[in-house]
Structure formats: structure tokens, C-alpha cells
A = this chain, B = another copy of it.
């Protein structure tokens, strides 16, 4: 009558937690006309002006075709500019507008509040472990091992099953 059997799996809990986060952050960003993907793109562009689309796609780990509509949205809202690169006329350089910088500042605060809301009840240590664990999982998905080089042999799947 419960999902106890599934709760042992990281993926099941993460799916449910991420769904909750997705809903909350979407609501938090709505007043700014942003969603998770446009916010993420704007945040990276804000920190790295003159970034190219393909570089941004790599950083955000999204496919180039899917980035196009995200940038269209940001450009239409006059939050970023797409300028032809002088040294490579195929490429665009992405930069935030003043308006984009201002909106980003507010949106970052809103997302920080959202984050605090969703992680309420977790200690700073637990939160740090959470973030590191998710980075580790992501790296494992890319087939990377950790840097320690002592236990992992690249074959087994032993840990705590």
C-alpha cells in the first residue's frame, strides 16, 4: 500500500523531489517572465558575456536545437543580444542587456528564496552533501570515476545494494 520498496532507490526519490522543485521554481520565476531554462541561460550569459551559443549549449548540457527557442525568448524580452562574431560570421555572441542584468539580479534572489524554501529543515552540512552527491551522480552518468583512485575498478557495482 506504499512506495517503501521504491524509496530505497535514489532515482525514485529524486524524481519526486525534482518534480516539487520544478513546480516551485516555475512559480517563483513566473513574475519575471522566466522559466527554469531561460533563467539558467540568462544566468550563464550574465556571468560570461560574448558567449557563443554552442558553448552555452555545452555548459548547460542541452542540445543546440533546444537552445534556439530559449534564446529567442530571452532576445524577444530584450534580456540578451545576439551579435554576429567578428572572427566567425557563422557564430553569435550572447550578451546580457542592462535590462537583462537587472532582471537577473531579481530573479537570482527569487530563486535563492525558492531554494531556501525547498531545503528548509536541512543543515548546511546536509545541503553540502546533497549538492556534492548530485554532482557525483552526474559525473557517474558521464562515466567518470572519482579522483581517489583506490577502490573503484570500473567494473563492479558493489556498494550498498
Binding site for B on A (CB under 8 A): 1-25, 36, 40, 43-44, 46-48, 51, 55, 59-61, 108, 111-122, 124, 126-127, 129-142, 145-146, 148, 152, 157-161
Contact B161 A5 (CB under 8 A): no
Contact B141 A119 (CB under 8 A): no
Going nearest first, the 4 A-B pairs with the smallest beta carbon separation are: A20-B141, A17-B134, A121-B146, A13-B134
In the complex, the count of this chain's copies comes to 2
- Shortest Cβ gap from A160 to chain B (Å): 5
Contact A142 B13 (CB under 8 A): no
Contact A142 B61 (CB under 8 A): no
A130 to B11, CA, bound (A): 11
Query: Which residue of B12, B46, B60, B122 is within 8 Å of A159 (Cβ)?
Result: B122
Query: Which residue of B1, B120, B152 is within 8 Å of A59 (Cβ)?
Result: B1
Contact A44 B115 (CB under 8 A): no
